[in-house]
Amino acid sequence: MALFLICSLFLLLVLGVPVAFALGIVGLATVLLFDVTSLTQMAHSQFANLDSFVLLAIPFFILAGNVMVEGRMATPLVDFVRALTRPITGGTAVGAAIASALFGAMTGSSAASAAALGRVTIPELNRLGYPPSFSAGLMAAGGTLGIMIPPSIVFIIYGAMAQQSVSKLFLAGLLPGIFITALLAILTYVLVRLNGWADAGRLELREVAETLRRATPALLMPGIVLGGIYGGVFTPTEAAAVAALYGLFIGAIFYRTVTFANLPRIFVNSAKMTGVILFIIAQALFIGLLANLAGIPSAIVDAVEAANLSHWEFLLVVNIVLLVLGCFLDGVTILTVVAPLLLPSIVDLGIDPIHFGVLLALNIEIASITPPIGINLFVISGISNTPIEKVIKGALPYVLMLLAALVVVTYVPWLSLALLP
C-alpha cells in the first residue's frame, strides 16, 4: 500500500496531472484497492479537514494581497525605498531588494509580489543601464521573500496541516526573513560593484518625506496585522480579515486605485485562488491519513534508525530531496504532498515542527526560482518580456545565495526559534 501510494502519486504529478486531482485520484484508488477505510469516511474526512478556523485566514489574506496588487500599492513603496537608498552605490537595485521584503509582508504571496514589484522596478532598472537579465533575476528572487516573511500563506497552510500555531510560525519566520533580505541586499550590492552597474545620487530629505507620506498607509499594514496578533488584540484569522478590510479602505480612500469597477475582478480572482488552495489541502490531509495507515512515517523512522543517521544528517537528506523535487514541482505541491508524509516522522525523531516549517518554506522559496518550472521565473519573464533563459541567468546567483541561507537556517535553529515564547 505504501509503495502504491507514493509511486502512483509521483507518477501522476510527473505526467502533469494537476496536484489536486492527482491527490484525489490516488486517495480514491487506495481506498478502493486496499479497503483501508470507507468511501463515507473519505467524504467525511474531505469536509472535516476544511472545518478549521485557522484556514479561514487564507481567503482573507489572499484578498488582501490581491487588493494590494490590483491597487498598485507597490509604486509608493518602491518610490520611498528608492529615495532612502539613492546615496548608496547601486541604490536603486538595493532598494528594489528591500522593497521586495516590505511588499512581501503585505501580500504573503511570492508570485503576486514578484509581478507587482517587477512591473514597477524592472523598467526603471533597465532605464538606468542595468542588464535586463540582472533586473529580472533580482525581482524573481525578491518575490520569494513573500513566502518567508509573515504574514505568509505558506505558514497558514502548514500550520493547519501540522496542527501548529500560526502565530508561532509567523514569529519563527521573522528572523530568517530578515536574514535572507539582508543577504539579498548585500549580494545585489556586490554584483553591482563587481560589474560596474552603479547608480547613485544625493539624499533628498524633502523627497524622502513626501514618498514616506505616500507609502505610510501601505507600510502600516504589516504592523497592524503582526502588532494585533502579538498584542493579543486578534487571532491570525481575525488579523487576515482586518488586513483585507484595511487594504480595501486605503486602496479606495487614500490611493484611489481600488474602485467599484475593479472590485468584482478582485473578489472573483481571490475566490478562485482560495478554492484551488482549499481543494488541494483537503486532498493532501486525506493522503496524510492514508500515509499513516500505510505505516509510512514509522517506516521512515525505522530507516533513519537503521542507517544510524543523526538529526543533522536526516535534515540534510530531507533538504536534498526537497531541492530535487523543487526542480519539477511547484511550492504548493511540495507543501501539500511532502509535508503530510514527513510530519509524523519529524515529530518522532524529536525535530521541532516549527523549525521544520521554516525549512520547508525556505525550500519552497528556492523552488520558485529553480528551473525548469520555477513559477517566479515565468512570472517575471511574462511581465517584463525578458527571455526565460535570461531570467534564469540573472536568478542563478540568488539561487546560490538561498542555498547558503538554507544551510544556515537548517543548522542554526536559533534563527527560527529565538523569538518564540
337-366 pLDDT per residue, tens: 777 778 878 877 888 999 999 999 999 999
- Torsion of the alpha carbons at 99, 105, 107 and 112, rounded to the nearest 10: 40
pLDDT computed for residue 297 by the predictor = 66
Instruction: Answer for the pair 42, 293: CB distance below 8 angstroms, yes or no.
Output: no
Backbone angles phi, psi at 57, to 5 degrees: -70, -25
- Does the pLDDT of residue 42 top 80, yes or no? no
- pLDDT tens per residue, range 137-162: 999 999 899 889 888 888 988 998 88
Cα 27–Cα 337–Cα 316 angle in degrees, nearest 5: 140
Average pLDDT over residues 217-229: 87
Phi/psi for 256 (5° steps) reads 60, 35
* Rounded percentage of the chain residues whose pLDDT exceeds 70: 98
Q: Which amino acid is at 234?
A: F
* CA-based radius of gyration for the chain: 22
Question: What's the confidence (pLDDT) of residue 66?
Answer: 86
- Model confidence pLDDT, tens digit, residues 373-383: 788 888 899 88
Q: Who has greater pLDDT, 88 or 394? A: 394
Mean pLDDT of 133-139: 94
Q: Is the pLDDT at 313 greater than 90, yes or no?
A: no
pLDDT of amino acid 393: 93
Residue 262 has pLDDT above 90, yes or no: no
pLDDT band of 294, cuts 50, 70, 90: confident
Q: Inform me whether the pLDDT recorded for 59 exceeds 70.
A: yes
**Residue 26 to residues 44, 158, 327: CA-CA distances in angstroms?**
17, 21, 22
Residues 6+ apart with CB under 8 A from 367: 322, 323, 325, 326, 327, 329, 330, 331, 334, 374
Name, of 64-73, 76-85, 167-176, 217-226, the range with top average pLDDT: 167-176
Q: What is the pLDDT of residue 416?
A: 94
User: Can you read off the three cell numbers belonging to residue 95?
Assistant: 532598494
- Flag whether pLDDT at 330 surpasses 80: no
C-alpha cell at 212: 514616506
What distance in Å separates the CA atoms of residue 199 and residue 161, rounded to the nearest whole number? 46
Rounded-to-integer distance, Cα 155 and Cα 172, Å? 10
pLDDT at 176 over 90: yes
Please give the pLDDT value at position 352.
92
pLDDT band at 295 (very low <50, low <70, confident <90, very high): confident
pLDDT confidence of residue 8? 83
8 A C-beta contact, residue 224 and residue 238: no
| pLDDT confidence of residue 91 | 85
Model pLDDT, residue 212: 92
Mean pLDDT value across residues 25-46: 78
Under 8 Å between Cβ of 398 and 154: no
What confidence score (pLDDT) does residue 160 get?
A: 85
Region 103-123 average pLDDT: 82
DSSP label at residue 215: H
List of residues 6+ apart from 91 with CB closer than 8 A:
82, 85, 199, 200, 201
Rounded mean pLDDT, 37-41: 74
Which residues have CB under 8 Å from 409's CB, separation 6+?
A: 176, 179, 358, 359, 362, 415, 416
The answer to whether residue 402 scores a pLDDT higher than 80 is: yes
| Mean of pLDDT values over 27-39 | 80
| 198: Cα within 13 Å, side-chain hemisphere | 9
Reading the block at residue 25, the C-alpha cell is: 485520484
On whether the CB atoms of residues 263 and 70 are closer than 8 A, the answer is: no
Place of cell 489541502: 281
- What pLDDT is stored for residue 185 in this prediction? 94
* Torsion, CA 94, CA 108, CA 178, CA 144, rounded to 10: -60
Tell me the C-alpha distance between 28 and 24, whole Å: 6
More confidently predicted of 264 and 20:
264
Confidence of residue 324 (pLDDT cuts 50, 70, 90): confident
CA 224 to each of CA 309, 374, 391: distance values in angstroms, whole numbers, following the listed order: 44, 32, 35
Tell me the mean pLDDT in the region 192-205: 82
The full set of domain ranges for the chain reads 12-417
Tell me what the pLDDT averaged over the chain comes to: 86
